[in-house]
Amino acid sequence: MKIERNVLIAVVVVALLLGAVLRDQYVLHVAVMVLFYAVLASSLNLLVGYVGEFSLGHTAFLGMGAYTAALCATHFGWPMWLTLPAGGIVAGITGLVVGAITLRLQGPFFVIVTLAFAEVLRLTAMNWIALTNGPMGLAGIAQPAWLAGAGITEAKLFYYYVAVLLLAVTVYLSYRLVYSNAGRAAVAVRENRYVAQSIGIRPLTYALLALGLGAFLTGMAGGFYAHYISFVGPEVFGFPFMLSMIIMVLVGGKGTLLGPLLGALLVTFLEESLREAKELRLSIFGAAVMAVVLFMPRGLMGFLLRRREQRAEAVASIARPESVA
Amino acid sequence: MSFLEVRGMSKSFGGNHAVRDISFDVADGEIVGLIGPNGAGKTTCFNLITGFYAPDAGRVRFRDEDVTALKPYQMARKGIVRSFQKTNILKSLTVFENVLTGQYLAAKQPLWRTFFPGRSVVKAEADARERAEEIVRTMGLGARINAPASLLACGELRLLEVALALAARPAILMLDEPAAGLNSQEAKRFGDVLTTLPGGWVRSVLLVEHNMGLVMDVCDRVVVMNFGEKLAEGEPAHVQADPRVIEAYLGSGVTAAA
């Protein structure tokens, strides 16, 4: 618990310090994407890793956040520090409404319903042309005014710091949730629904809490994405984003706070370095995910934790004979 | 005034009457054993009382309040907490974390406090940790407090299960075959711990158990079930001598041969 907290703080501090060093536009862009994906993966992990329900519809919240922020910015001229929370809140409410209906289902049923929900939203965004401009998307989302005078590097740097802030908020809220009575209740639901109920936990409450918080954070990330790319189209609801999130959570290690951050870092770098491989990229990814699921079912963090446990056990088994005697 | 009162409870699955017209009481401070041959309906009875099944007929009253067919988590909030026949614990957590999680209701805080904890949360957490340690020690698991639950031996698992149920601060503790898989020495020790519970950690205990030695040692009263119906009720020694009970367990052939 202490170690995890210190490492999380270190991650945010290092991210802040990196901002003082990074000046290359391409590197900054990759860094922003790492942070963006770290927020997405962390928020998906709240549900997948701590409540144990697998959502394939997390892009629904990403899209809701992105479109909300884009519409608020273009129609009402809201500044970014308002559109991001607005995107988060709309996505969070969507999450609670969807969750109140779908979280009564478990396992594969829940997976299918969430997938369908994201797809319905994608089709809506495609076809409700009056609101969303259809497949053409919403372009020209306003940047903060002072950025117009600044250079491209400064603009990227600005978004980098916003992303660090977003990650800090995500890490703080996730940490608080996981190491609280509510977080323990969520884990109890994941581990054993019957035991959870027999000690007074209502499973739906904590599944909703994790989904609502995850949706809120994802929505903020969506709003951030809309401003950063300055464009939102129906593809924010699409499956590729979902795929990236899942791979990051699984590779990094679900059910740990550090895992998704590690996953986001690794997968984004891998994606960038495999650009030359083109079509082969997805196949390589597929193989990588299968390898992780088969050989490290708890992801990289799980693998590391396991090694620490094994060492502790070895120490304990040496100590035990004395305590028996 | 009766503490737990079960009246005319019935449940059938398809055409099979798993439980038929069962009535019994558990008084304050009592340890009551619910026994019977395999398939007699004891676990179904547990599931009906704790809300995991809804009864077809009958009422459950607890502390003069009708609690029939409440949801399991609502039952726990009323003070009715159970363990399960098949070992049910939170496997990937340590012994301590299991018992800490069990104190969910006691450590519960307003939702926003989760994200902005203040002094009250810090105190509730400290209390929960202290109490978790105390419960672990009471159940004799002190040496294994930081061991992952998945590494416990069978006997230790059963103790952890009771510890987890105790952590939820039950008024009545319902244990479904807690001594299954224990050797006679472990069962004896388990019985000793069990008899210390009423009046301290809990008010009453309702126990389903096949280990007759344990039942006879710890129970104040025994309810015997057979084929979903109540066969006999009374003090352990009295019930043990009841020819109908002997017949249910051993068959009538014994009497015929004698």
User: Kind and range of the H or E element at B54?
Assistant: none
- Percent pLDDT > 90 in chain A is 58
Contact A181 B82 (CB under 8 A): no
Nearest to A253 by CA among A268, A266, A240: A266
Select the residue of B100, B108, B164 nearest A195 (Cβ to Cβ).
Answer: B164
Alpha-helical regions (H) of chain A: 2-21, 25-45, 58-75, 80-102, 108-127, 129-132, 145-149, 152-178, 181-191, 193-198, 203-229, 239-252, 258-273, 280-295, 299-324
The mean of the pLDDT values for chain B is 90
Query: Which residues of chain A neighbour B77 with C-beta distances below 8 Å?
Result: 200
Q: What is the token pair recorded at B36?
A: 């019977």
Q: What is the token pair recorded at B1?
A: 């005034």
Place of tokens 């708890």: A298
Kindly indicate the confidence band of residue B96, based on its pLDDT and cuts at 50, 70 and 90: very high
**pLDDT tens digits, one per residue of A188-210:** 999 999 999 999 999 999 999 99
Structural contact between residues A152 and A25, judged by C-beta atoms closer than 8 angstroms: yes
- pLDDT of A323 above 50: no
| Residues whose CB is less than 8 angstroms from the CB of residue A313 and which lie 6 or more positions away in sequence, other chains included | B151
| Residues whose CB is less than 8 angstroms from the CB of residue A103 and which lie 6 or more positions away in sequence, other chains included | A53, A110, A204, A207, A208, A211
Structural contact between residues A139 and A74, judged by C-beta atoms closer than 8 angstroms: no
What pLDDT sits at residue B69? 86
Kindly indicate the confidence band of residue A318, based on its pLDDT and cuts at 50, 70 and 90: low
The three state secondary structure string of B189-221 is HHHHHHHHCECCCECEEEEECCCHHHHHHHCCE
Kindly indicate the confidence band of residue B87, based on its pLDDT and cuts at 50, 70 and 90: confident
What pLDDT sits at residue A146? 76
Q: Which residues pair with B34 in a beta bridge?
A: B208, B223
Kindly indicate the confidence band of residue A319, based on its pLDDT and cuts at 50, 70 and 90: low
Burial of A3 (0-12, 13-18, 19+ CB in 10 A): exposed
Domains observed in chain A: 2-277 (1.10.3470)
Distance CA B19, CA A25 (A): 73
Q: Using an 8 Å CB-CB cutoff, list residues of chain B that contact chain A.
A: 50, 52, 71-73, 76-77, 81-84, 88-93, 97, 100-102, 104-105, 107-109, 111, 114-117, 121, 124-125, 128, 143, 147-148, 151, 164-165, 167-168
- pLDDT of A324 above 50: no
List phi, psi (to 5°) of A59.
Answer: -65, -20
What pLDDT sits at residue A135? 86
- In CATH, what is the architecture of B4-257? 3-Layer(aba) Sandwich (3.40)
- pLDDT of B258 above 50: no
Burial of A23-38, coded b for 16+ CB within 10 Å and e otherwise, reads eeeeebebbbbbbbbb
**pLDDT tens digits, one per residue of A233-263:** 998 998 888 988 999 999 999 899 999 999 9
What pLDDT sits at residue A321? 47
- pLDDT of A280 above 70: yes
Question: Domain coordinates of chain B in residue numbers?
Answer: 4-257
DSSP label at A47?
A: I
Kindly indicate the confidence band of residue B1, based on its pLDDT and cuts at 50, 70 and 90: low
Q: What is the token pair recorded at B190?
A: 């388990």
Does A127 reach chain B within 8 Å, measured CB to CB?
no
Does A182 reach chain B within 8 Å, measured CB to CB?
yes
> The dihedral of CA A270, A271, A272, A278: what is its sign?
positive
Contact B104 A309 (CB under 8 A): no
**pLDDT tens digits, one per residue of B179-209:** 888 888 888 888 988 998 988 889 999 999 9
Select the residue of A187, A202, A209 nearest B101 (Cβ to Cβ).
Answer: A187
Q: Which of B104, B129, B150 to mutate to probe the A interface, most A CBs <10 Å?
A: B104
What pLDDT sits at residue A313? 67
- Mean per-residue pLDDT for B87-91? 87
What pLDDT sits at residue A43? 96
Place of tokens 């892009």: A59
- Percent pLDDT > 70 in chain A is 95
- pLDDT of A15 above 70: yes
- pLDDT of A72 above 90: yes
- pLDDT of B256 above 80: no
What pLDDT sits at residue A316? 62
- pLDDT of A132 above 50: yes
- pLDDT of A281 above 70: yes
The CA–CA distances, whole Å, from A232 to A58, A135, A149, A237, B219 equal 17, 10, 24, 10, 69
- Mean per-residue pLDDT for A51-77? 93
Q: What is the token pair recorded at A19?
A: 């901002």
CB atoms within 10 A of CB B120: 11
List phi, psi (to 5°) of B230.
Answer: -80, 130
Q: Which of A50, A175, A195, A208 to mutate to probe the B interface, most B CBs <10 Å?
A: A195
Q: What is the token pair recorded at A206?
A: 């904590």
The mean of the pLDDT values for chain A is 89
Structural contact between residues B209 and B179, judged by C-beta atoms closer than 8 angstroms: yes
Q: Which residue of A has its CA nearest to B81?
A: A198
What pLDDT sits at residue B208? 93
- Mean per-residue pLDDT for A51-73? 93
Query: Which residues of chain A neighbour B71 with C-beta distances below 8 Å?
Result: 197, 202
Distance CA B149, CA B161 (A): 10
Distance CA B22, CA B60 (A): 11
Contact B91 A316 (CB under 8 A): no
Q: Which residue of A has its CA nearest to B82?
A: A198
What pLDDT sits at residue A263? 93
Distance CA A43, CA A39 (A): 6
**pLDDT tens digits, one per residue of A79-108:** 889 999 999 999 999 999 999 988 988 888
Q: Which long-range contacts does A107-115 make (Cβ < 8 Å, 24+ apart)?
A: A107/A53, A110/A53, A110/A54, A110/A55, A111/A54, A111/A55, A111/A56, A112/A56, A113/A57, A114/A55, A114/A56, A114/A57, A114/A58, A114/A60, A115/A56, A115/A57
**pLDDT tens digits, one per residue of B201-248:** 899 999 999 888 899 999 999 999 999 999 999 999 898 888 888 888
- pLDDT of A325 above 80: no
How far A131 CA lies from chain B's nearest CA (Å)? 35
